[in-house]
Structure 1
Amino acid sequence: MKQSLKLAGLAALMMSVSAIPAMAQEKIKVGVIVSLSGAGAVLGQQARDGFNLAVKDLGGKMGGKDVEVIVIDDELKPDVAVTKVKGLLERDKVDFVVGPIFSNILGAIHKPVTENKTFLISPNAGPSSYAGKECNPYFYVTSYQNDQIHQILGNVAQKRGYKKIYLMTPNYQAGKDFVAGVKMDFKGEILEESFIPLGTLDFQAELSKIASMKPDAVLTFMPGGMGVNLVKQYKQAGLLDRIPFLSTFTVDESTLPAQQDAAIGMFGGSNWAPTLDTAQNKKFVAEYEKAYNSVPATYAFQSYDAAMLINSAVVAVKGDLSDKAKVAAAMKKADFPSIRGSFKFSNNGYPVQDFFLTKVAKRADGKFQTEIVEKVFSNYGDRYAKDCAAQ
């Protein structure tokens, strides 16, 4: 009997010892939740592809562990996003969640993810709501704080001496941030703040109003399919020759394949362009175009950086994600070579970086891209960080 107990104990010990290397080889699981259907599908596809490209460049591993990427479509519906992200947390037990594209979806998933003490990295949406007092040690942004990207337009409009402008944007949080961002530097008259229902594709009523009001410039934030239609209709209405068009996320590499010649010469605000002169960017653009036969947009590069951010943290903690405080500290260091060059986090988990005015051009190979015209802000952090208690 004693011999049997000894053998049983030895077997149990051997089983527990053999389990140690198995545990050490557990995968790093990342849930990517982006819009892959509807008007914002192309944006989500770019983000998904950028993230997958980074994982491929890392050899499918982070900190020596295999990486499993689970991609889901939020369908641009907050209630659907909540249900699906809970599946990532409870069923798939992911270590990190990357996404989403749109701020209204971020507002829906932020609480369930961060309250679960799972790290949420936004590769695009950067609303003001989480940049100040509501900052969170489990939330990081690899894009920008929404106001900043729109502030570029207001700054340029002011410097160019425009006296009266017309604003047009979708009616949701990011649209409100657009208006707030423009107003930061523009001191002239705003003829109208036109808030359009999200998903609108017919802008004839607004274009008629613009033609009658005759502003010095139209400033707009109109992403995805909304931007495609607006640009085409603006050009068809003959307004581009009379009223300058400055935008954010309206003419970029995700929409240009559909807009094509109608967008040539239009200006945009951005934290990046395919022509940005860094070694990392040149490599990224070449690899992306080869892999997906399209020119990458900001959604792709910011998602690529999100993967590299996660990898830097996993490497720093030697693959041990059990101590959340150590992982957060490693995330905050952002110890990786960003595609955009200069990059670090402010105390609120939002980036400090450069911002540019870009212009749409047609390349010699017939493809369209944005190109840097001038740097507008250098090493620029957002205005809400001062209200964030140190994480």
Structure 2
Amino acid sequence: MTHRLLCTAAAAFALLAGSQAGAQTPMKIGFLATLSGPLGTLGQDQYDGFMLAVEQRGGKLGGVPVQVLKEDDQFKPEVALQLAQKMIERENVPIITGMTASNVMMAVAKPITDKKVFLLSTNAGPSALAGAGCSPYQYVVSFQIDTLTEGVGKYASDKGYKKVTLLTPNYVAGKDMLAGFKRYYRGTVVDEVYTPLNQLDFSSEITQIASNKPDAVFVFYAGALGVNFVRQYQQAGLLKTLPLLSTGTIDGTSLPALKDSALGALSGHMWAPDIDNPANREFVDAYEKKYNRIPSNFAAQAYDGALLLDSAIAKVKGNVTDKTAFTAAMKAADFKSVRGSFRFGNNNFPIQDLRMFEVAKDAKGRVSLKTVATSLKDYQDPFHAQCSLP
């Protein structure tokens, strides 16, 4: 009897040991984004879009179980740096993604990539990191910031706007945005205004716009800043008489608050919900069912980021420690993007179409974005020539 019990116990132990050996240890992925404050909705949409793709794959990417470690950088570079160091040194993450704000990414990019940890931005794309600051461990799945406004600048020229006023917060992304607009705009900039980073009252700036009498206005104000600017612009009666062009101001994060007050305004970007391809239709439908809201570009970009990782991790069979192989797998960008055309340039920033959208009612009567033009096709940022990567 004792011998039989011992054999049974040994068999049970062997079965348990075999089961544990067969179970995969989850791969840790750091998700570092701005999840609070004026830009908090942007980071939350990034996280929601990323996690939708993970959940659709049963909690896996590339067939490997993943544990996503979410952290809020609070829009503070020093906080982001501390969190990135914790992810690398304590959690041993091989990949950090997210990245909402350019000033935050500028603070953490080199410390992350110097450790040979892969950094995948699903929003921020500052010019300095597209040029000499490029790295084989750094990828941006969203855009290089300047390119979005280069498309808007070209659109403004094509529409024959002779004079424009430009406004943005006074920080890295804002300066890149206006530089991009001016690179393709052929008219005259009658005023270029840089406001404090957290300014929410634009009454004096709007009064100045009215007195300057430009043909159009271009703004870059994200999150709560954008909601306030557009509302005040519309309340001043300018939206009906003076075309409002923007980037990063009117999108799926701000339209639920703006609603009809933004109708007729224009936004330049690479993605909107009405882009017609199978991957985008599937994404929009799944996102609306899960979160009960129209996805923003931040959600779409992060969803694409998860699809990129899914493809790359599968190519190396989960062995992301083979950095040469994983670099090649990331560079291949072998996934179906929700935006349609997508590939990486030598600097690991996207080559893609840039479009213009108008705020309009969709087929369900909801305020959304409608594609009105493709301003630049299969476009690569101007900084790639400064990058030493092949």
CA distance in 2, matches of 1:83, 1:95: 17
1:224-267 deviation per Cα after TM superposition (whole angstroms, max 9, x unaligned): 10000000000011111221100001111110001111101100
Greater mean deviation of Cα atoms: 206-215 or 57-66: 57-66
Show the counterpart of 2:62: 63
User: How far off its partner does 1:343 sit?
Assistant: 0.6
User: How far off its partner does 1:52 sit?
Assistant: 0.3
Task: Write the mapping of 1:216-365 to structure 2, written as runs, cut at 5 A.
Answer: 216-365=215-364
User: How far off its partner does 1:212 sit?
Assistant: 0.6
User: How far off its partner does 1:57 sit?
Assistant: 1.4
Residue type of the alignment partner of 1:134: G
Residue type of the alignment partner of 1:382: D
CA distance in 2, matches of 1:145, 1:105: 15
User: How far off its partner does 1:33 sit?
Assistant: 0.9
Which ranges of structure 1 fall in alignment gaps of 5 or more residues? 1-14
Show the counterpart of 2:7: none
Residue type of the alignment partner of 1:120: L
8 Å CA contact 2:166–2:219 kept in 1: the answer is yes
1:144-189 deviation per Cα after TM superposition (whole angstroms, max 9, x unaligned): 1111101111111111111111000011111111111111111211
Aligned length: 375
Task: Write the mapping of 1:163-242 to structure 2, written as runs, cut at 5 A.
Answer: 163-242=162-241
Residue type of the alignment partner of 2:284: V
CA distance in 2, matches of 1:42, 1:213: 33
CA distance in 2, matches of 1:40, 1:111: 23
* Structure 2 SS opposite 1:390: coil
CA distance in 1, matches of 2:169, 2:21: 50
Show the counterpart of 1:11: none
Show the counterpart of 1:97: 96
1:106-135 deviation per Cα after TM superposition (whole angstroms, max 9, x unaligned): 011112211111100010111110111221
CA 1:19/1:128 → structure 2, altered by over 3 Å: closer, same or farther?
A: farther
Residue type of the alignment partner of 1:220: V
1:79-138 deviation per Cα after TM superposition (whole angstroms, max 9, x unaligned): 111111111111111121112111011011112211111100010111110111221011
Greater mean deviation of Cα atoms: 367-376 or 227-236: 367-376
* Structure 1 SS opposite 2:112: helix
8 Å CA contact 1:257–1:367 kept in 2: the answer is no
8 Å CA contact 1:30–1:95 kept in 2: the answer is yes
1:44-93 deviation per Cα after TM superposition (whole angstroms, max 9, x unaligned): 11100000001011221123321111111111111111111111111111
Residue type of the alignment partner of 2:304: D
CA 1:268/1:324 → structure 2, altered by over 3 Å: closer, same or farther?
A: same
* Structure 2 SS opposite 1:265: coil
Show the counterpart of 1:87: 86
CA 1:71/1:327 → structure 2, altered by over 3 Å: closer, same or farther?
A: same
User: How far off its partner does 1:360 sit?
Assistant: 0.6
CA distance in 1, matches of 2:23, 2:388: 35
CA 1:153/1:86 → structure 2, altered by over 3 Å: closer, same or farther?
A: same
Q: Does 1:108 align with 2:107?
A: yes
TM-score by length of 1: 0.93
CA distance in 1, matches of 2:134, 2:23: 32
8 Å CA contact 2:61–2:306 kept in 1: the answer is no
Show the counterpart of 1:6: none
8 Å CA contact 2:152–2:375 kept in 1: the answer is no
CA 1:23/1:89 → structure 2, altered by over 3 Å: closer, same or farther?
A: farther
1:298-333 deviation per Cα after TM superposition (whole angstroms, max 9, x unaligned): 100110011111111111111112211111111000
CA distance in 1, matches of 2:128, 2:271: 24
Which ranges of structure 2 fall in alignment gaps of 5 or more residues? 1-13
* Structure 1 SS opposite 2:67: strand
